[in-house]
Amino acid sequence: MSFENILVEQRGAVTLITLNRPQALNALNSLVLEDLIAAFAAFEADPSQRCAVLTGAGEKAFAAGADIKEMADKPAADFYSQDFFSRWTSHLVKTTRKPWIAAVNGFALGGGCELAMMADFIIAADTARFGQPEIKLGVAPGMGGSQRLTRAVGKAKAMEMCLTGRMMGAEEAERSGLVARVVPLANLLDEALKTAAEIAAMPPLAAIANKEMVNAAFETTLEQGVLLERRIFQVLTATEDKAEGMAAFIEKRPGVWQGK
């Protein structure tokens, strides 16, 4: 599968997706959206692929936001009638059940920050800068930034960033819980791919289940979340991978997973 605005390659069981508009700092336009949706759908449908990494081409940006030049003259009625940007969430967050990592290499601003926050977790280069500067354009986050950033870093920082457009550097982002880990820019892709390969080598049903459980913590009460966790745990005990995983532990050998 080849695309105009993104690059997609398979590295073993890991799909590497690269936003590829470096001349526009990987700004997210409708064509990028369509390519990404197709690439994530293909990743989800391919049983040989177990984890994905999303990054940006070039050293300067993961993505500097939704494409301002595309949005500038778009009538409000079109934003509303097309439910602009709703498809990101439905495809990248809801439909993609397999795990994926955002490897943030530079600016992740506006929709770029929001896209990174749709990932299961973020690994950031030490050069990464996160921000929701939409206020400076007379608008506000529109792809989940006000909600996901607030859940990640708390009200004080999220409110300050949304109201001032201030960018957060990688170290502050790690300290604040926005990113899982910070690595030198030169090592970013290797580290993200290595982590993705580790996840890809896990029992695949258990990987999907773990993702589903952690995500449920953002959508439910504690009691409902703990109940969901217990039920999914109980379902997993019926899988062949559970039998294999426990036998492999007892026999002191690596497990061999069937995804069944």
Query: Given the rule CB under 6 A, which residues bind ligand CO8?
Result: 24-25, 27, 64-69, 79, 84-85, 107, 109-111, 133-134, 137, 141-143
**For residues 142 and 163, what is the distance between their CA atoms, to the nearest angstrom?**
14
Please say whether the beta carbons of 165 and 132 come within 8 A.
yes
Q: Closer CB to ligand CO8, residue 66 or residue 206?
A: 66
Q: In whole angstroms, how close is the CB of 67 to ligand CO8 at the nearest point?
A: 4
Q: In whole angstroms, how close is the CB of 63 to ligand CO8 at the nearest point?
A: 8
Quote the DSSP letter at residue 66: B
Options 52, 106, 134, 196, the catalytic residue:
134
Options 114, 128, 158, 245, the catalytic residue:
114
Q: In whole angstroms, how close is the CB of 27 to ligand CO8 at the nearest point?
A: 3
Q: Closer CB to ligand CO8, residue 137 or residue 236?
A: 137
Q: In whole angstroms, how close is the CB of 76 to ligand CO8 at the nearest point?
A: 10
Cβ-proximal residues to 117 (8 Å cutoff; 6+ apart), any chain: 102, 144, 145, 148, 149, 152, 178
Dihedral over alpha carbons 200, 259, 207, 5 (to 10 degrees): 50
Q: In terms of Cα–Cα distance, which of 146, 139, 148 is closest to 160?
A: 146
Please confirm, yes or no, whether 160 is among the known catalytic residues.
Answer: no
- C-beta nearest to ligand CO8: residue: 142
Q: Closer CB to ligand CO8, residue 67 or residue 191?
A: 67
Q: Closer CB to ligand CO8, residue 32 or residue 52?
A: 32
Options 39, 57, 63, 66, the catalytic residue:
66
Q: What is the DSSP string of 103-117?
A: EE-SEEETHHHHHHH
Q: Closer CB to ligand CO8, residue 24 or residue 162?
A: 24
Please confirm, yes or no, whether 114 is among the known catalytic residues.
Answer: yes
Q: In whole angstroms, how close is the CB of 48 to ligand CO8 at the nearest point?
A: 34
Q: In whole angstroms, how close is the CB of 2 to ligand CO8 at the nearest point?
A: 24
Q: Closer CB to ligand CO8, residue 120 or residue 134?
A: 134
Query: What residues are annotated to the active site?
Result: 66, 111, 114, 134
